[in-house]
Structure 1
Amino acid sequence: MVIIEQNPQESIREYVYRFLKVNIINLELPPGQSISEQEVASQLKVSRTPVREAFIKLAQENLLAIIPQKGTYVSLIDTDQVEESTFVRQTLEHEVIQQACTCFPAEELFQLQSCLALQNLCISEKNYYRFFELDETMHAIIFRGCKKSRTWEMLQLMNAHYNRVRILSLKTKEFQWDQLLKHHQALIKAIQEQDIKLGIKTIKLHLNKVLIDLEYLRKAHGDYFLQRKQQTFTMTQK
């Protein structure tokens, strides 16, 4: 696992939760891997109580599977959740990009352009995780510029499985980074020139990429994904 620094304003409980979630999302803790409270507590030099609380919270978010008498495992990627997250993002971002292409603050536009420059640097340095973070930042800025920050925060609550697919795609298909960069360039151009048609076309293409990649990634990394039969069984048991 990659150790991240504790923010000054964070409690130990918040830090442990964020540490684990970051490592799950960026696949440092890959789907299916076992994980123990004691190991995490020892690595972070904290008591087991905040670790246990983080485990429970992550299990509620379907990122950990706590199996009595067996142990705790990083949840496999659930494609149903990925598809649902894609649907929600496409629906919301279709509307947000139209607003952004109608009226957008100059300061936020400058921040989008700055993100784009940093993404170019990430490509040259082959830093896929930083590229992912900047991609997230770009979308957050667009939402903020349209006064929809709380809507973006709501999306983050259901994006965990979706984001793991994005990270896996960036790790596996490095040749597509330039394509993503072109999407971002087109989005900024659409906002800058108030071109709603270009904005809608680009955001649809950009967000649909996850579903296009999904079939390839399931074949290449089948052990990372919950099988369809398993998903049906789980729903039947409920």
Structure 2
Amino acid sequence: MSRLVKCENGHFYDADKYAKCPNCSRGAGPKKDVVMEGGISTDLDDVKTVAMNIRGNIKSGRSVRIPKVSGRTIKPSNEILDREEQRMRELQEKIRDHKDSLEEQVTLAKESYEIDNDKTVAVHVFENGIEPVVGWLVCVNGEEKGRDYRLIRGRNRIGRDSGMDVTIRKDQKVTREEHCSVVYDEKSNLTFLVPGNGTLTYYKGEMLRQPQQLCSGDAVEIGETKFIFISFCEGERVWKNEEE
């Protein structure tokens, strides 16, 4: 059996054939690392020496001991990398499509129900100066439990700021300005819950992603505050201008 040893410079040689390292005798110097197929890093002279000994021992019929090679680096195959890259691309496209669709729906809803402030006074206020009520949000759970919030025609903006149409001051989970809106459409005599700048808005237990029609008794959660919507204008009941 061939007896392979390693010299102080890191070279392997057959001690049965050589009294000292033949590589060092030739002035080979310290070993040089190479990377073999499969990501295995080893010494170039070691590869040559082992290969020569393997060939010699195979011809002579003797067994040979292969030295251990360290520094193996495992890399994923190109097929795995391509598959993961494709999966990530598909996931990013789905997220982008969903975001674009959601933003488009919110924009369309806001544009559909946007009311010019200059026209609000002329259309929404009776001659006696009263803005007719179209419904209420009644707080059933939260810091404002028991309080009712009056809703009028057009867009009722909801938030913590005092400038909002519906102000929920004590709930810190409610966005300061326009967390969401309740919109009454006079032409259809329907009321809608429309997403805004806030994230924690739920309609009948489901996260609000697009405008939803509100009916009397529907549950609405804004931040950590829960409401029940009560409709006044619905069905045949609708406010009309005096000239009508």
* Alignment TM-score, normalising by the size of structure 1: 0.20
Q: Is the radius of gyration larger for structure 1 or structure 2?
A: 2
* Alignment TM-score, normalising by the size of structure 2: 0.20
Which protein is richer in helix relative to its size? 1
Q: Which has the higher contact order (CA 8 A, sep 6+)?
A: 1
Which protein is richer in strand relative to its size? 2
